[in-house]
A = this chain, B = another copy of it.
Amino acid sequence: MVDVATRAGVSLKTVSRVVNNAPHVQPELVERVLAAVAELGFRRNHLASSLRSGQTTATVGLLIEEIANPFYATIAGAAAEVARQHGTMLIIASSEEDPAREQQLLRDMCARRVDGLLVVPAGDDHSFMRAEVELGTPVVFLDRPAGGLLADTVLLDNRGGARAGVRRLVEAGHRRIAILLDSIGVYTMRERLDGAQDALGPAGAPYDTRLVRDGVRDPAAAARVVSELLDRPDPPTAFFSLNNRITLGVIEELHRRGSDAAVLGFDDFDMSSLVPYPLTVIAYDTRELARTAAELLFRRIGGERSWPRTVVLPTELVERGLPPR
């Protein structure tokens, strides 16, 4: 900027004013400065600018589990769009479900003085962020609640969705319903399982722990579990899979065997039209989840100081076929 000022024959400050479109600068000087800027290829240093003027870096951080996962990619896309509308850049980092890494990444983002944070929590204790939050960095949690920290949160109605889906299975006459899940350690899984339990008991369909299988990590594992369950003397007539990776394996195995068991899956499918099986899913709007969280974040950044709130977004039961008992 000093060089630009020298070249244009004005003071440093005048260059600053021109660069920031400040008023009260003679049009002629503006011309000269802009010419010098162009000639010297001057680019304003955003770091120095943020440092000096203090408050805003026009950057927000997004912490998710894994960028390549379509669910998180959708979240990132929606968050990036909202950020862009606010003239803000997005720093994205993956915790890979590792609480230690989550903590380190969040600290690093804070060190970069982001204006705010959007977090899909991995760990279950976020009290280490209390200092930052109290110092004024807004944080919005999404998909899962924070642990040990009062903050804005946007969730899906996992429990209600599971309840509605299982209720539907029961209405169709199913009583022996197998439930396959990834990991009971994950909040969303617990909620979905609780929802299923809510719907089973009152309906006279026992919640049979022998039909609940935890630790189903991938489609292949799901297929094996389905196979094993179908070989029981009293096989389930319906399968509720708690995420779409599992649903995929369930369908493959049922299809392979020519079974007509009903399938209910949490999470919708992109290519559901191609799935060779009548499939009912509990769907939700991932973009809406991220958009809601991001908009809440920017309201906080904009200065909104109300009490932290938790928003729960609805799920929808999408029936593409449901074989009765």
The tally of residues in A whose CB lies under 8 Å from a CB in B reads: 50
21 contacts between A and B (CB under 8 A): A41-B135, A46-B108, A46-B113, A47-B50, A47-B57, A47-B113, A68-B73, A68-B77, A68-B78, A70-B73, A80-B92, A80-B93, A80-B94, A84-B94, A89-B109, A89-B112, A90-B92, A91-B92, A251-B274, A274-B274, A274-B275
B77 near A67 with CB under 8 A, answer: yes
- In the bound complex, residues from chain B placing their C-beta under 8 Å from that of A48 are 51
* A72 surroundings in chain B (CB, below 8 A): 73
Distance A257 CA – B117 CA, assembled complex (angstroms):
50
Residues of B within 8 A of A70 (CB): 68, 70, 73
Tally of this chain's copies: 2
A20: interface (CB < 8 Å):
no
Q: Which residues of B contact A66 (CB under 8 A)?
A: 77
Bound CA–CA A90/B273 (angstroms): 36
Contact with B along A104-127 (1 / 0, CB 8 A): 000111111100000000000000
A15 to chain B, nearest CB (A): 15
Residues of the B chain whose Cβ atoms lie less than 8 Å from the Cβ of A273: 252
Closest to A131 in B: B41
Q: Contact partner of A73 among B43, B73, B255, CB < 8 A?
A: B73
List the B residue with the shortest CB-CB distance to A277.
B274
Instruction: Report yes or no: A67 in contact with B57, Cβ–Cβ below 8 A.
Output: no
Interface status of A230 (Cβ within 8 A of chain B) = no
Please give me the residue from chain B that is nearest to A89 by CB atom: B91
Knowing A271-B274, A274-B276 are in contact, say whether A80-B67 is a contact too (CB < 8 A): yes
